[in-house]
Structure 1
Amino acid sequence: MKTHHQILIIGGGTAGIMTAAQLLKKDKKLDVAIIEPADTHYYQPAWTLVGAGTYNYKKTAKPMSSVMPKGVTWIKDYAMGFNPKSNTVSTKSSGDIDYDYLVVAPGLTYDHSLVPGLEKAIDKGAVCSNYTNPNHTWNVIKNFKGGTALFTQPTTPIKCGGAPQKIMYLAESYFRKSGVKNKTNVVFATNGGVIFGIKQIAKTLMKVIDRKDINIRFGHQLKKIDAEKQIAWYAIGDNESEYNHKDIQVSKDGDLIGIHYDMLHLAPPSVAPKFIQESALVNDAKWLDVDQYTMQHNKYPNIFGLGDVAALPTAKTGAAIRKQVPIVVDNITLLMKHNKIGNKSYSGYSSCPLVTDYGKMVLAEFDYQNNFTPDPKLKQMLIKDSSKEHWRLWILKKYMLPYLYWNKMLKGIDV
């Protein structure tokens, strides 16, 4: 097997596939290889809808072989480590692979051990997560008979910061339909001090919370889960506050507060994959250390990183990757030709499609400064203000974005 490639990409997720596709679109003679062990590629943004029973899980998966861009060498293996000084990546079974340029995009992984009790509890019984098994989430919501429905998130960065509340809004709608809403308290416990970091979006979401009669508990840091007693335990931060109090069962254990739940949905704590954390490529927080504007590694100029693994002060979403890929592609192309990168700059753009009901959505688009930055193309969809709920945004989320993802984005076409 060939052990040297001009451009080596780690990861066959959104970032890796899009980068390879766009590089080969610019120059199909390039020698590009992707290291990716998985057989299946998932469109994860639709998992929110799967968890609410309004999207088929099977439609979120395609064989990895079908999304590999034409002309790419697929190394079906695990990346295990780096030697950036000698430009090599070690793999589990294919030996060392050399590169001229390296793109690191393996995504993130979940570390259940950061919340004691989570490993035993997750995806079983009343505990669910759209991040790991959205089919189980739907079973839990569908079979919920009332009581406290607790939605929560960890203190680590997570994929799409809005996801833990989207499923809550949809679940509340379903509880109304199934007739259990009048004997249910919906509670959102979050480490943050606001519902969303962008004022226009937060204003809309607080109206949704009023309409759905949801209790929010800010400044709650998830510490452990007791699956047998069905209690989630929290440390309370300085930013503790509450909105729309509900009289739910709460226990105390020293400094910790325990919320009793009858169903629990959570995002698992997220970290960079182990082989990344243990490498010379990370910052102190153990995320890939890249320049937030150029995506170039801060120490090794022929290494670039993007996607969920990158240490960027913005939300980890596919929409962010869509804007990061052209910067990486431009910089690598110019490095190869002129030995210096270009002046294109990533603004920190990310977007969170916040589904607020079946048939309604708000679209939060923002940059590093948390400025609200709506895409002008939304005007073509007759959407004047994407910070307000709109049924056309739901159509975008459920039908248009998956289509664009499989047929345009993964094929290197700019959308």
Structure 2
Amino acid sequence: MATLGVMSPGLHVHQCTQLLRAAIQSGSCRTLHMSPRSAAKEYYDVVVVGGGAGGITMSARMKRKVGAGKVAVIEPSETHYYQPMWTLVGGGAKKLASSARPTASVIPSGVKWIKSEVKGFDPEKNCIRIDDDKEISYKYLIIALGLKLHYEKIKGLPEGFNYPKIGSNYSVQTVEKTWKALQDFKKGNAIFTFPNSPVKCAGAPQKIMYLSEEYLRKTGKRADANIIFNTSSGVIFGVKKYADALQKIIKERNIQVNYKHNLIEVRPDIQEAVFENLDKPGETKVFQYEMLHVTPPMGPPDVLMNSPVSDAAGWVDVSKDNLQHKKYPNVFGIGDCTNLPTSKTAAAIAAQSAVLNKTISLVMKNQSPSSKYDGYTSCPLVTGYRKVILAEFDYNQQPLETFPIDQGKERRTMYHMKADMMPFLYWQLLLRGYWGGPAPYRKIMHLGFK
């Protein structure tokens, strides 16, 4: 009776009943109780960890590749957000509700939604552990966990958001506080910060600054406002062409930029922000603020720290060319959680998804990946309520522009692309696995020369 743990599907019902009755009489029925971990084990051809932009996109692509019922996406959140919209929400140009949809509505039909958190990875055994110590087994694994915001690394936060005059466009709980702080501004310092860590959408910390500056001009408060950008970086933007364009805007609009200034403390009760000077360790400077926009330090999700799938810093360790894991050939990564040396944006995810799709197709055929990701990413630098500089660039921080015009200039057309066209692309094409970035159109736009 020790073999009763798994009954043969060929046994008839009356045979099963007889076996069970015999087991009970003999006292050996205890062998029927399987361990919780083995009883709860599930298997899928492809498991996608994370239900953000990268995870949903790849689950849609994988479903078409291996079939319905063979793909699972693991995501605990009930709501999916189009986060690039939050720059405009914080500036009062869009409503927060327009960035949200139920997670259930974006999971592709035929893909299993496992509403849980990932607790650990065991790539040697091709399985992951989720809530209740349950194990999910896979043939192929795609990690798309995004990154984690660390407001708590700034003394006085996140509890400081309970006070007025402070907000952050990086969190659904705090983005509307930015707009409230901007509306309530009277006079004094409006401070915008950039942390000493990797950042998703590295242009966003200054996009809200340009919107705020224009809002204060339109409402007659600009003369009483000091616009200050305190950045831990040594440059305004990593790509020289766009940095030069932004420097002109900064000069024209009389914005003060302090480099190598990293926010370490907020004193919301007395409206003070404390910054460390990264060039002079131990030296700090206190700024009074009337409005403070905080961009928090960011890092890998906790589950990736000290994980077998991660590098020493906690980022998923993948090839920068094909997004395949460097050690485990059936594991792949996409988006913000990876150590790809490019900016962490939704545009980067789109381009990565096209490459990763080709990579996995070849791996499934026992062939070597041949497609190469060039590091393409895009950052629509919102410089006003109707103006955008569309920055597009590659691994080498060189412009990789789609349109046959100078994208280093502020353009209204690019604003409408950011505010209207890109959300459509996101919801209708990217998340359904049909948008892999503008690369095919770039050659057409440039008559085949790019």
**What TM-score comes out, normalization by structure 2 length?**
0.85
Q: Is residue 332 from structure 1 mapped to residue 360 from structure 2 by the alignment? A: yes
Q: Is residue 235 from structure 1 mapped to residue 264 from structure 2 by the alignment? A: no
Q: Is residue 366 from structure 1 mapped to residue 393 from structure 2 by the alignment? A: yes
Corresponding position of 1:249: none
- Aligned partner of residue 411 in structure 1, secondary structure: coil
1:289 pairs, out of 310, 313, 317, with 317
2:418 pairs, out of 383, 397, 404, with 397
1:86 pairs, out of 121, 125, 130, with 125
How many Å separate the matches in 1 of 2:51 and 2:305?
A: 19
Deviates more, 1:115-124 or 1:362-371: 115-124
Corresponding position of 2:429: 408
Deviates more, 1:223-232 or 1:36-45: 223-232
Deviates more, 1:279-288 or 1:222-231: 222-231
Q: Is residue 109 from structure 1 mapped to residue 148 from structure 2 by the alignment? A: yes
- Aligned partner of residue 316 in structure 1, secondary structure: coil
How many Å separate the matches in 2 of 1:121 and 1:391?
A: 36
How far residue 120 of structure 1 moved from its aligned partner, in angstroms, is 2.2
Report the residue type matching 2:57 in the other structure: M
2:232 pairs, out of 169, 185, 191, with 191
How many Å separate the matches in 1 of 2:139 and 2:111?
A: 16
1:244-259 matched pairs, under 5 angstroms: 255-259=283-287
Residue deviations 1:275-327 (CA, integer Å, cap 9, x gap): 11142222122211111111111221111111111012111100000011122
Corresponding position of 1:243: none
2:260 pairs, out of 198, 207, 219, with 219
How far residue 27 of structure 1 moved from its aligned partner, in angstroms, is 4.7
Residue deviations 1:334-362 (CA, integer Å, cap 9, x gap): 1112x233211111111111000110000
1:130-141 matched pairs, under 5 angstroms: 130-132=169-171, 133-141=174-182
Corresponding position of 2:77: 38
Q: Is residue 56 from structure 1 mapped to residue 95 from structure 2 by the alignment? A: yes
Deviates more, 1:196-205 or 1:17-26: 17-26
- Aligned partner of residue 260 in structure 2, secondary structure: strand
How far residue 392 of structure 1 moved from its aligned partner, in angstroms, is 0.1
Corresponding position of 1:264: 292
Report the residue type matching 1:394 in the other structure: Y
Report the residue type matching 1:374 in the other structure: E
Report the residue type matching 2:156 in the other structure: G
How many Å separate the matches in 2 of 1:254 and 1:267?
A: 21
How many Å separate the matches in 2 of 1:205 and 1:396?
A: 19
Larger radius of gyration: 2
* Cα RMSD, aligned residues only: 1.7
How many Å separate the matches in 2 of 1:343 and 1:314?
A: 20
How many Å separate the matches in 1 of 2:116 and 2:258?
A: 44
How many Å separate the matches in 2 of 1:31 and 1:123?
A: 45
**What TM-score comes out, normalization by structure 1 length?**
0.92
How many Å separate the matches in 1 of 2:69 and 2:434?
A: 17
Corresponding position of 2:21: none
- Aligned partner of residue 54 in structure 2, secondary structure: helix
How many Å separate the matches in 2 of 1:39 and 1:392?
A: 34
1:332-351 matched pairs, under 5 angstroms: 332-337=360-365, 339-351=366-378
- Aligned partner of residue 158 in structure 2, secondary structure: helix
Considering Cα pairs closer than 8 Å and 6+ residues apart, tell me whether 1 or 2 has the greater RCO. Answer: 1
Corresponding position of 1:98: 137
How far residue 329 of structure 1 moved from its aligned partner, in angstroms, is 1.6
Report the residue type matching 2:396 in the other structure: Q
2:63 pairs, out of 6, 24, 27, with 24
Corresponding position of 1:170: 211
Q: Answer yes or no: is the 8 Å Cα contact 1:25–1:412 preserved in 2.
A: no
Corresponding position of 1:355: 382
How far residue 225 of structure 1 moved from its aligned partner, in angstroms, is 2.0
How many Å separate the matches in 2 of 1:27 and 1:301?
A: 18
Report the residue type matching 1:306 in the other structure: I
How far residue 76 of structure 1 moved from its aligned partner, in angstroms, is 1.1
1:181 pairs, out of 222, 230, 233, with 222
Deviates more, 1:65-74 or 1:165-174: 65-74
Report the residue type matching 1:265 in the other structure: H
- Aligned partner of residue 128 in structure 2, secondary structure: strand
Q: Is residue 206 from structure 1 mapped to residue 247 from structure 2 by the alignment? A: yes
Report the residue type matching 2:143 in the other structure: V
Q: Answer yes or no: is the 8 Å Cα contact 1:22–1:326 preserved in 2.
A: no
How many Å separate the matches in 2 of 1:341 and 1:228?
A: 59
How many Å separate the matches in 2 of 1:125 and 1:327?
A: 45
How far residue 29 of structure 1 moved from its aligned partner, in angstroms, is 5.3
1:145 pairs, out of 186, 189, 192, with 186
How many Å separate the matches in 2 of 1:147 and 1:405?
A: 38
Q: Structure 1, unaligned stretches of length 5 or more?
A: 241-252
How far residue 94 of structure 1 moved from its aligned partner, in angstroms, is 7.0
Report the residue type matching 1:154 in the other structure: P
Corresponding position of 1:157: 198
Report the residue type matching 2:418 in the other structure: K
How many Å separate the matches in 2 of 1:25 and 1:205?
A: 43
Report the residue type matching 2:362 in the other structure: L
Corresponding position of 2:6: none
Q: Answer yes or no: is the 8 Å Cα contact 2:165–2:184 preserved in 1.
A: no
Q: Answer yes or no: is the 8 Å Cα contact 1:34–1:73 preserved in 2.
A: yes
2:351 pairs, out of 323, 326, 329, with 323
Corresponding position of 1:245: none
The number of residue pairs the alignment matches comes to 395
- When residues 11 and 408 of structure 1 are mapped into structure 2, their CA distance, relative to the original with a 3 A threshold, is same
- Aligned partner of residue 226 in structure 2, secondary structure: strand
How far residue 123 of structure 1 moved from its aligned partner, in angstroms, is 5.8
How many Å separate the matches in 1 of 2:354 and 2:157?
A: 38
Report the residue type matching 2:358 in the other structure: D
- Aligned partner of residue 122 in structure 1, secondary structure: helix
Deviates more, 1:86-95 or 1:189-198: 86-95
